[in-house]
Chain A
Amino acid sequence: MSASIEQLSCQELVEVVTDYLEGALPDSERASFEHHIEGCTGCHEYVRQMRETIELTGQLTPADLSPEAEAALLAVFRDWKSR
């Protein structure tokens, strides 16, 4: 484990940040990731920005069907119901 700790470069870290946030990193890589962001202001900030990105994305209103299409579907429903 200790051998890999120093080996994760910043350029590599940004490619496994989603694996990290998803809990998909093996324990040893996870330790190496956390060790890295503790000592590296750039990567620490990068991970924070990814979290902020996820949070901002979560504030969006989902795209929706046009009102016409939805009305048409309700008409289809009523037609189906009367069958």
Chain B
Amino acid sequence: MIAALRARDERVFAELMRMYNASLLRVAQIYVASRSVAEDVVQETWIGVLNGIDRFEGRSSLKTWIFRILTNIAKTRGQREGRTVPFSALERPDAVPEAAVDADRFLQADHERWPGHWASKPEPWPEERLLAAETRAVVERAIEQLPPAQRAVISLRDVEGWSSEETRNALGVSETNQRVLLHRARSKVRQALEDYLVEAR
């Protein structure tokens, strides 16, 4: 791919864009506020890739290199926008505690027999509704509403199907932090599905 890109093969460039544009957009949105600025950042990234490909030394994978270019551009744009770069979202995601499930779903810690056990346990989801298009729309909306770092991680891992290592490299986060972000994102999407699929509790 690197050789083909250096040889100015347009099909390979188009293929690379198809492979990475969605993920590049998600990662850019960690750093910049709007979708349109994120699109600009992705455009600038590809320009950077083209301008740099002849000098790319292959010390990292092409993918990691592309995402590093993106992150640098996105950070600069975010700073120019006066946006506090959310380092904490990536570097200290557990600084603010977040429960996967509301505490009131569980019996209280001082319960005499079953502290911390389900007071209102999850009920099985109706199989036929899981397959409906509306259910997928619920998942999509839940992901859109996530904080950007969580949204980026779940998009790369579960929508794109990347490994945890690929995701860590693209975002420049530790394994633990990647997992914390993934956990919070998945927990919220599960909750949104439960809210939608289980009418009255």
Whether A62 contacts B159 in the complex (CB less than 8 A), given A9-B117, A10-B118, A17-B100, comes out as yes
Contact B13 A69 (CB under 8 A): no
Can you name the residue of chain A whose Cβ is closest to the Cβ of B197?
A: A49
Please give, as numbers and ranges, the residues of chain A lying within 8 Å of B140 by CB-CB distance. Answer: 60
Contact A62 B117 (CB under 8 A): no
Q: Does A64 have its Cβ within 8 Å of any Cβ on chain B?
A: yes
Please give, as numbers and ranges, the residues of chain A lying within 8 Å of B160 by CB-CB distance. Answer: 62
Contact A58 B10 (CB under 8 A): no
Please give, as numbers and ranges, the residues of chain B lying within 8 Å of A11 by CB-CB distance. Answer: 101, 103, 106, 116-117
Q: Does A63 have its Cβ within 8 Å of any Cβ on chain B?
A: yes
Contact B46 A76 (CB under 8 A): yes
Whether A62 contacts B158 in the complex (CB less than 8 A), given A10-B116, A52-B130, comes out as no
Whether A73 contacts B17 in the complex (CB less than 8 A), given A10-B117, A15-B100, A50-B190, comes out as yes
Categorize the interface residue count of chain B: 35 or more
Interface string of A13-43 (1 = CB under 8 A from B): 0110111001010000000000000001111
Can you name the residue of chain A whose Cβ is closest to the Cβ of B137?
A: A60
Instruction: State A9–B106 Cα separation when bound (angstroms).
Output: 10
Please give, as numbers and ranges, the residues of chain A lying within 8 Å of B164 by CB-CB distance. Answer: 22
Please give, as numbers and ranges, the residues of chain A lying within 8 Å of B158 by CB-CB distance. Answer: 54, 57-58
Which residues of chain B from 95 to 128 have a CB within 8 Å of any chain A CB? 99-101, 103, 106, 115-118, 121-125
Q: Does B168 have its Cβ within 8 Å of any Cβ on chain A?
A: no
Contact A65 B39 (CB under 8 A): yes
Binding site for A on B (CB under 8 A): 8, 10, 13-14, 17, 21-23, 25-26, 39, 42-43, 46-47, 50-51, 99-101, 103, 106, 115-118, 121-125, 130, 135-136, 139-140, 143, 154-155, 158-161, 164, 175, 179, 182-183, 186-187, 189-190, 193-194
Give the number of chain A interface residues (Cβ < 8 Å).
Answer: 43
Which residues of chain A from 36 to 83 have a CB within 8 Å of any chain B CB? 40-43, 45-46, 48-50, 52-54, 56-60, 62-66, 69-70, 72-74, 76-78, 80-81
Contact B190 A69 (CB under 8 A): no
Contact B179 A18 (CB under 8 A): yes
Contact A9 B155 (CB under 8 A): no
